[in-house]
Amino acid sequence: MARQQRTATATTERDESTGTDESTGTDDNAGVSERSGRPERSGAARARNPLLPAALVLALLAAGAAGWGGWQRYQAANDDSASFAQARDDALAAGEQAVQNMNTLDHKALEQGLDSWEQSTTGDLHRQLVDGRDAFARQITEAKTVSTAKVLSGAVTELDERAGRAGVMVALRVTVTAPKGEPAVKESRLLGSLTRTAAGWKLSALGQAPVGATAG
């Protein structure tokens, strides 16, 4: 009987030395990393870390800000290009019309034609036309001529949008009809300087283009 008690005692000691809970069969070292010996965090514990969602939000915000900034730069560049292209088209259209007006004059609608000359110009050219209006009127009345112009092509040679200056080259076909003789047809290329005014682009100078120059 004593021998059996000693055996039971020894068995109990061996069980206690292993750290096993006989009631549950669960090892006391559960949840401890086999490599480091430190307790491992469960998925629920990691999810409760407040730094993780905050870091994610900051990363998303930074990415969004970078993308928005890139889009703004892209849009600004395209807006600048579009604005320049629009100013160029406006200058060319105004320049072609003004050069055509300056080469169109009918003795039967003289005042209307001279008004068109003045409305198409500004600066020194405008003052020259105003000062010489009476002389021009006498010459056209005596000659009884009709001049009409057609734009063949045109191009902007320079454009300073900030300063409000531009240059155009316009190729024209001008037909002059007099009471006697056949109509005279001449093609020419003219260089015009434009100045932007409150009423739009207007001619501030006009002259013959060099030989060999082309418009468009």
Share above pLDDT 90 across residues of the chain, in percent, rounded to a whole number: 56
pLDDT of residue 116: 97
**Cα 92 to Cα 170: distance, rounded to the nearest angstrom:** 9
Residue 194 in any domain: the answer is yes
Residue 160 in any domain: the answer is yes
Q: Which tokens in the block code for residue 105?
A: 């004059």
Residue 199 in any domain: the answer is yes
Continuous segment of H or E residues that includes residue 11: helix 2-17
Q: Which tokens in the block code for residue 202?
A: 């207007």
Alpha helices in 27-171 (DSSP H): 43-47, 51-102, 110-119, 123-131, 133-143
Residue 196 in any domain: the answer is yes
Residue 24 in any domain: the answer is no
Residue 8 in any domain: the answer is no
Would you place residue 26 in the very low, low, confident or very high pLDDT band (cuts 50, 70, 90)? very low
191 backbone φψ class: left, alpha, beta (φ>0; ψ -120 to 50): beta
As for how many domains the chain has, the answer is 1
Longest Cα pair distance anywhere in the chain, in angstroms?
A: 158
* pLDDT (tens digit per residue) in 103-157: 999 999 999 999 999 999 999 999 999 999 999 999 999 999 999 999 999 999 9
Question: According to the per-residue pLDDT averaged within each range, which of 33-42, 167-176, 203-212 is highest?
Answer: 167-176
Question: Which CA distances in Å does 31 have to 25, 26, 42?
Answer: 15, 11, 9
Residue keyed to tokens 């395209």:
78
**Average model confidence (pLDDT) for the chain?**
78
* pLDDT (tens digit per residue) in 165-205: 999 999 999 999 999 889 999 999 999 999 999 999 999 99
**Spatial CA neighbour of 45 closest among 58, 59, 31, 35:** 31
**Cα 194 to Cα 88: distance, rounded to the nearest angstrom:** 11
pLDDT of residue 210: 86
Residue 108 in any domain: the answer is yes
- Exposed, middle or buried: residue 175 (CB in 10 Å: 0-12, 13-18, 19+)? middle
pLDDT of residue 29: 46
User: Which of the residue ranges 41-45, 86-90, 138-142, 199-203 would you say has the lowest mean pLDDT?
Assistant: 41-45
pLDDT of residue 181: 86
Residue 87 in any domain: the answer is yes
**Cα 102 to Cα 92: distance, rounded to the nearest angstrom:** 15
CB 187 within 8 A of CB 172: yes
Q: Which CATH number does the domain housing residue 161 bear?
A: 3.10.450.230
**Domain with 110 in it:** 71-208
DSSP 181: S
Kindly report the length of the chain: 216
The reported pTM is 0.64
